[in-house]
Chains A and B, each alone.
Chain A
């Protein structure tokens, strides 16, 4: 049983009328120029979007390159700063060492004292006392 047989003639007539009205209400444009224009608009939008996509990709590639460059520069700066810092420290140590070596008193005595030993001049006195 088809759709028409299930309904009465009045309903069929109403539905047919309804369909014919609906056809007009949602009818697509009939002008061929409209469809040509729509196709062109779609393709133009597609081109624009693809171009924007390419531009964004280029920007990302550029920023990725800039990021790599920045990272390298930061690394290099860190290396240079670290080497300067180490050099400065080594220089300071050396200067401190030289200062201590060159000073006539102080450090050697302090060294003897720190090690719990008797200084050489006192050792001689001690030897003389114990020998006699």
Chain B
């Protein structure tokens, strides 16, 4: 007697358990086939998180938006090399982090060469409200790039040290110590501001 193979059975049970990742895998496969609509859906799903990662590294909204755009363009170009069974989000966030670090370096060079930009932004930065918050934002901007990224990714976005380490290509321990230094620095600023205001 031969056993009857039921190829659909495991697929169906997997689909029930993890419907969204399987769905995302299909989207990735479709995007790899060149279906523009599938990639558009991936953009729709991941752009907020991508923005959050970018915003943790760059210091303003405009650069964060540019970074997100660049990162998605890069992701589209590199999607053939992506393995569909892996987490698309983690892969994308790494691309976003790299693009954001590039943008920060470019910004430093530009700022060294040019006068500060005075073009009005269509999006009003929420940090603009409140003296304390404004000062805190300035303090955040003066933090070393990696410390700033780590504190935002950890405290605001809720990433774990290991995830941050992977994203920024640093050891987990470095992420921990960066978080410690960033927090203590900002805490000091916060204390000084509280007593001064």
Contact = CB atoms under 8 A, between A and B. Distances in A.
Given A11-B187, A18-B155, A24 B126 contact: yes
B47 A35 contact: yes
A14 B126 contact: no
A27 B183 CA distance: 18
A28 B73 contact: no
Interface string A5-24: 00000010011011101111
A51 interface: no
A43 B43 contact: yes
A44 to B, nearest CB: 10
A49 B151 CA distance: 35
Interface in B117-131: 123, 126-127, 129
Given A26-B55, A38-B65, A42-B69, A18 B190 contact: yes
Contact of B69 (A22, A24, A34, A41): A41
B36 interface: yes
Contacts of B39: 43, 46
B155 A46 contact: no
Contact of A26 (B43, B69, B123, B156): B156
Interface residues of B, number: 36
A49 B44 CA distance: 19
Contact of B48 (A17, A28, A42): A28
A36 B171 CA distance: 36
22 contacts: A14-B191, A21-B190, A22-B136, A22-B140, A22-B152, A23-B156, A24-B129, A25-B127, A25-B137, A26-B127, A26-B156, A28-B51, A28-B52, A29-B123, A34-B123, A35-B47, A35-B48, A38-B68, A41-B69, A42-B73, A43-B39, A43-B43
Given A18-B155, A29-B61, A41-B69, 20 more contacts: A14-B190, A15-B183, A18-B186, A19-B155, A21-B133, A21-B136, A22-B152, A24-B126, A24-B133, A25-B136, A25-B137, A26-B56, A35-B47, A38-B47, A38-B51, A39-B43, A42-B72, A43-B40, A46-B39, A49-B73
